[in-house]
Chain A
């Protein structure tokens, strides 16, 4: 924080002129000044609208434009930021995150300048394009905050603490916000109050980054050590091994070349192969014959069996014939008439003379035929059985012969010849080449490992240093925070003591506690009071914040305060006036340049002076925005 003169302690924001345009015409145009500015008028005369316009043109978000305000197209403000005069312009729109246009100069020059000389900045930084918050922060002399926090720290967030509006809930320190976050509030509070240490924040980020790097390096080292064996293996170790392997490689190569040169290679295999083929064929033939024989034998057996059965039947038949013949026919089968006693020379039935047992003979001959067939078949079976008995051992012999030849073939393949010697060498060469490749990889790995190890040691050192720095700075930051909080708390309590005696707690309080994290404040542990008391409490806090910032050089509050409605609708006029006079006293008693703007519907007559009031006393008939 630099000082340009005794009265000025940066950062400073002083609004100098505010113009609201509607359809090309200015419907509001007033000059403001450092120190106390009062906008007064009846209720619903548009005072809050003006406060909103101020908030908006400086970079605030989330204004719900009322009817008439919404018909306006732009708001322009000439401001002094530290030592620079700037003109700011923003189009009036319901959408969020509208950009801001900035002109480096006074408004009179700006408005005559059409578009050149104006630069438009977006709400949020995009790549290399700066946001308007960033530009204004530079003008305010704020340090750059990196990272996510930096992009969250905007003019809007700062103004939330500098603008005590009517809309926000009682008991809150910050103006309400759609995307309110505890961390942002903490950061804004810390930043403005001056105990935010940008270096601490940076150091914390650095530490996190280094710790991550260390973790991943440790992981990589572990993997490398798994492959190589130990952390301390030197690359030279591998180099030695490589040298000896390379020598052996060359030796083997030489030997292989020599061996190949005088290879003649008599191959004993063709002879064995021919034999093997012949034996296989014989074996196959014998097995086929055996199968054939066995089938025929089985088949013949069935046939023989049926022949034997026929023979048996025939024998039975012959016997039956004789037996029945003995009984002799008593009656004629045809007519049933009784027959006479049998005669031997003729057939008893048909009287045909016997021709010497011809039918019997026929039977006997048939029997002989059958017996012959049986005998022939049996003999055939016997010869087949004999052949089977001979073939079986032959097959066994052929099988073992083939097995023997098979083994011979296998053996022959293993006898090393000159060619085989060469092949052996080549095999070893291949093996060695793989080993060499492996060692080369390990050598490279060992080198990389050494580098990583060094980096790791370095990181550990840096981390230790950062940790120390962080704890030192955290301690310092906490100390400052404590100091400032106490000062603000005590100052706030002072203001409460001067309040009209409406709250016992107020008069007894020695200290007002406030918390950015929870966005709350309390007096002697009590947070909720009557509506009017709450207004007094809230406004006292904001006033105290400003008052203390006028005393300390290390705070970053831009010495600007915007209070919309000193009183709520139910507040006693006396009480409001008393508070107004407190503000005036606080402002008057400081030599340091600052600006306080407040609106009221019951101005203290003593303060209704030209050096304080801005514009006329507004009414419903004569509103702030001169809209026809």
Chain B
């Protein structure tokens, strides 16, 4: 019997990436950054329980949808995060291949996924896809705006950056 989990579905990863860029069209994200934001979309309770936030942000975080769900299956966040890397990358590659996203630092020959700088192109989404993306963003309004607003405003690298505060990636050797 096959059990479906959206975390391991590259298509769902692609939808989530599109949700991020649809909410904030001018968004430019490092690949690593996108992975972390994506992780927060998947497991909103992670934001409230494990991410170090300022008091005002914490108060806003409490209002997020699904922030208290029990059966998300998340026990070890860093382990889950690394397990998801391939799937998320795959989803993003699909979007790159279909021209919906583009990378902005092609001066480097072969940057790793994490080092890529991603942004949304002008091409339109197919109607059905657009429907799904808008609908999910609407029903999780506070979650998506917190992730693309508050979390994006936190500097990504270095001490007290998003990497540090989520504890999902190494930050100590970041050259800022």
Residues of A within 8 A of B (CB): 302-303, 305-306, 309-310, 313-314, 316-324, 326-333, 362-363, 365-367, 369-370
Query: B72 contacts which chain A residues (CB < 8 A)?
Result: 306
Q: In whole angstroms, how far apart are the Cα atoms of A324 and B94 in the complex? A: 8
Total contacts A to B, CB within 8 angstroms? Answer: 83
**In the bound complex, do residue B4 and residue A329 qualify as a contact, i.e. CB atoms below 8 Å apart?**
no
Determine whether the beta carbon of B99 is less than 8 Å from that of A330: yes
- Of A303, A313, A365, the contact of B12 (CB 8 Å cutoff): A313
**How many of chain B's residues touch chain A, expressed as a range?**
20 to 34
**Given A313-B9, A319-B132, A320-B12, A329 and B98 contact (CB-CB distance below 8 Å):** yes
Residue contact A310 to B4, C-beta cutoff 8 Å: yes
Cβ of B4 and Cβ of A306 under 8 Å apart?
no
Assuming the contacts A313-B12, A320-B12, A366-B4, asked whether A327 and B126 have C-beta atoms less than 8 A apart, the reply is yes
Whether B93 is near chain A, meaning CB under 8 Å from some CB there, is yes
Is B2 at the interface (CB under 8 A from chain A)?
yes
Question: Which 8 pairs show the lowest CB-CB distances between chains A and B?
Answer: A313-B6, A306-B71, A323-B129, A323-B126, A366-B4, A317-B11, A327-B98, A333-B93
Interface of B is mostly: loop
Contact A303 B98 (CB under 8 A): no
* Cβ contact within 8 Å between A329 and B97: yes
Q: Are A324 and B129 in contact (CB under 8 A)?
A: yes
| Of the residues B4, B6, B14, B93, contact of A367 by C-beta under 8 Å | B4
Q: Tell me whether A370 and B11 are in contact in the complex, defined as CB-CB below 8 angstroms, given that A324-B129, A333-B97 are known contacts.
A: no
Residues of chain B in range 65-94 having any CB-CB distance to chain A below 8 Å: 66, 69-73, 93-94
A496: shortest Cβ distance to chain B, in Å?
A: 112
How far is B5's CA from A202's CA once the two chains are assembled, in angstroms? 121
A contact residues around B14 at 8 Å (CB): 320, 324
Supposing A305-B69, A317-B12, A320-B11 touch, asked if A370 and B4 sit within 8 A by C-beta, the answer is: yes
Q: Which of A309, A320, A326, A367 contacts B132 (CB 8 A)?
A: A320
Candidates A306, A327, A369; contact of B1 at CB < 8 Å: A369
B12 and A316 contacting across the interface, CB-CB below 8 Å: yes
Contact A302:B70 (CB < 8 A) given known A366-B4, A370-B4: yes
Query: Could you list 30 A-B pairs, sorted by A, with CB under 8 Å?
Result: A306-B70, A306-B73, A309-B69, A310-B6, A313-B4, A313-B6, A313-B9, A314-B4, A316-B12, A316-B15, A317-B12, A319-B128, A319-B132, A320-B12, A320-B132, A323-B126, A324-B14, A324-B126, A329-B97, A330-B97, A330-B99, A333-B94, A333-B96, A362-B2, A363-B4, A365-B2, A366-B2, A367-B4, A369-B1, A370-B4
Task: Verify A317–B15 contact, CB threshold 8 A.
Answer: yes
Check if B136 is an interface residue, CB within 8 A of chain A: yes
A-contacting residues, B1-25, CB 8 Å: 1-6, 9, 11-12, 14-15
* Residue in chain B with minimal CB distance to A366: B4
- Specify which of B66, B96, B128 is in contact with A323 (CB 8 Å cutoff): B128
Nearest CB on A from B110, distance (A): 11
The SS class assigned to the A binding surface is helix
Contact A303 B71 (CB under 8 A): yes
Which residues of the partner chain B approach A317 to less than 8 Å between Cβ atoms? 6, 9, 11-12, 15
A303-B71, A314-B4, A362-B2 known; 16 other A-B pairs, CB under 8 Å? A309-B66, A310-B6, A317-B12, A319-B129, A320-B14, A321-B11, A323-B126, A323-B128, A324-B11, A324-B126, A324-B129, A332-B97, A363-B4, A366-B2, A369-B1, A369-B2
* Complex CA distance for A326 and B98, rounded to whole angstroms: 10
The answer for the CA separation of A310 and B72 in the assembled complex, in Å, is 10
Contacts of B12 in A (CB 8 A): 313, 316-317, 320
B25-79 CB contacts (< 8 Å) to partner A: 66, 69-73
Distance of B73 from chain A, by nearest CB (Å): 8
A306-B132 contact, Cβ under 8 Å, with A313-B9, A330-B97: no
For A305, A306, A324, which residue has the most chain B Cβ atoms within 10 angstroms?
Answer: A324
Chain B, Cβ-Cβ closest to A372: B1
